[in-house]
Amino acid sequence: MTRGLRLLRLGGTGPNLLLIHGFGADRMTWLANQDVLLQSSSVFVCDLPAHGEQPPLAEAMTISRMVDELISQLQLWSEPFVLVGHSLGGAIAIEVAARRPNLVAALALIAPAGLGTGIDRDFVVGFSALADIDSALALLRRLVARPRLITPHIALRVIEHLDRSGVRSAMRVLGDQLIQVDTSIKPHVASVALSKIPRVVIWGEDDQINPIDRSKLATFNTQMIALPNTAHLPHIEASKVVNEHLSQFLKASLH
């Protein structure tokens, strides 16, 4: 394992596209999306610090520190990236676009933190404390409209990851940041809203973790797609529809 954030190129040809996962997830969350996107893009994924194969940052686990890490990777490439970010990943993508718009070709945000009514505090606090499968299943199933999508195997994987060295404490710190992201991200949202960066937001109408805030989205000056019978994980719950919308957005924005 390497400390920090690294981009993993999956392949494909065309514009650079980076998939940024959400809080408590990892790069595998995009398995239902990446093959379709590979047909028209050069697709990259990453594990954020304290997620997947990446250990926590040695420094404070803040969203802005993660953005610093990501910017340091994106600027190694000669072409800008389409950033596809879910939840926490959406907030990270917005901050990257505000701070370094030259690195961002377009934004596709899925239930982005900072543009909803607020991240559910009980979910975030409860996540880092998960210790048994029953409680993990109960909490994680709040992410979806169809609870059967969250299996005992998924719950076990989450607990095993949290038990790794330093991960629980890092997730608590990051969770505190995420709960307050609506305030911290405001200037970045305002900056992107005034920019010419093409953008689309996709949201599940039944999202209880980060519910839609249509007034915020109106000020963000974005195309908005709301999906019925879908909660906080549209890219998993409604992957076919989300893939179609992402493909259409990329075609319209970049070609």
Task: Give the mean model confidence (pLDDT) for residues 1-22.
Answer: 87
Residue 255: the pLDDT is 64
Residue 2: the pLDDT is 43
- For residue 199, CA distances in Å to 104, 182, 194, 242 come to 11, 19, 12, 14
- What pLDDT, in 10s, does the model give residues 83-109? 999 999 999 999 999 999 999 999 999
Confirm if 119 and 210 have CB atoms less than 8 A apart: yes
- For residue 167, CA distances in Å to 3, 171, 174, 227 come to 13, 6, 10, 33
Residue 59: the pLDDT is 80
For 153, residues 6+ apart whose C-beta sits below 8 A from its C-beta are: none
Residue 202: the pLDDT is 98
Instruction: Please say if the pLDDT value at position 4 is more than 70.
Output: no
Residue 5: the pLDDT is 85
Tell me phi and psi for residue 224, to 5 degrees: -125, 130
Average pLDDT, the chain: 95
Burial degree of 30 (CB within 10 A; 0-12, 13-18, 19+): buried
Tell me phi and psi for residue 16, to 5 degrees: -65, 135
Confirm if 171 and 50 have CB atoms less than 8 A apart: yes
- DSSP code for 3: S
Check residues 3 and 125 and name the one with the higher pLDDT.
125
Residue 237: the pLDDT is 98
User: Where do the domains of the chain lie, and which CATH numbers do they carry?
Assistant: 7-120+183-254 (3.40.50.1820)
Element (H, E) at 122: helix 121-128
Residue 58: the pLDDT is 83
- Per DSSP, what are the bridge partners of residue 201? 109, 224
For 9, residues 6+ apart whose C-beta sits below 8 A from its C-beta are: 42, 43, 44
- What pLDDT, in 10s, does the model give residues 131-189? 999 999 999 999 999 999 999 999 999 999 999 999 999 999 999 999 999 999 999 99
Check residues 50 and 254 and name the one with the higher pLDDT.
50
Cβ neighbour number for residue 138 with a 10 Å cutoff: 14
Nearest in space to 88 (alpha carbons), one of 150, 181, 169, 186: 181
CA-based torsion, 27, 29, 32, 33: positive or negative: negative
Instruction: Please say if the pLDDT value at position 1 is more than 50.
Output: no
Q: Is 212 left (phi over 0), alpha (psi -120 to 50) or beta?
A: beta
Q: How far apart are CA 52 and CA 199, in angstroms?
A: 27
Residue 61: the pLDDT is 87
For 187, residues 6+ apart whose C-beta sits below 8 A from its C-beta are: 98
Q: Which residue has the tokens 């924005």?
A: 253
Tokens coding 108: 């596709």
Task: Give the mean model confidence (pLDDT) for residues 195-209.
Answer: 98
Q: How far apart are CA 51 and CA 88, in angstroms?
A: 12
Residue 148: the pLDDT is 96
Structural Rg of the chain based on CA atoms: 17
Amino acid residing at 37: L
